[in-house]
Amino acid sequence: MKKLTIILALVMVLSATRTFAQDLKFGHINLQELIALTPERDSAVVKMDNYGKELEETLQGMQQEFQTRYQTYNQKSATWTAAVLEAKTKELQDLQARIQEFQQNAQNEFSQMQQELMTPIIKKAAEAIEKVGKEQGFIYIFDLSVGGVAFKSANSIDVLPLAKQVLGIPADKTVPTQFQQPAK
């Protein structure tokens, strides 16, 4: 009788475990694709492009000034006195140092601007994924854009359409080609 009770209990536990395992829902999404589809990203890219062009134009102007002064230096240096030559050499070195400092500051400012513009977009996308996960009862939603998934079963559900719906992105809007994952 004890053995029958143990076997019956074991069968019930295994049956419950199997039923529980079948109820687990796993999903996947490419977060980069979702972000690429948001209208906010489009406006952020325009702002970053405009700012980048402005920085590039300033840098080109500085480099052109350096080239002009350098050509003059090469053409006239043989005729200058030692004091003038030293002053002109110092001017070129100072200008070159300013150009390098500008490049470094421009990179830092651009990175900071990019982070300021993209952080709210990434946060909004993450909140949409979390909302979908809770509403649809997912245990996990894997981000395929980081390449951390070695296997994706056909039972895994693509959450991108659901997240697009939460964010109000039209279902037929497609991802720009630079964000598409290569076929596996």
| DSSP code of residue 180 | P
Q: Is the pLDDT of residue 82 over 70?
A: yes
Who's near 80: CB < 8 A, 6+ residues apart?
88
Q: Is the pLDDT of residue 4 over 60?
A: no
Mean pLDDT of the chain: 84
pLDDT tens per residue, range 30-45? 899 999 999 999 999 9
Amino acid 10: pLDDT: 45
Percent of the chain with pLDDT over 90: 52
- Answer whether 59's CB lies under 8 Å from 99's CB: yes
**Predicted TM-score of the model (pTM):** 0.67
Residue 12 tokens read as 């019930």
pLDDT tens per residue, range 128-180? 988 988 888 888 888 888 876 645 566 778 888 988 899 999 988 887 776 55
Amino acid 32: pLDDT: 92
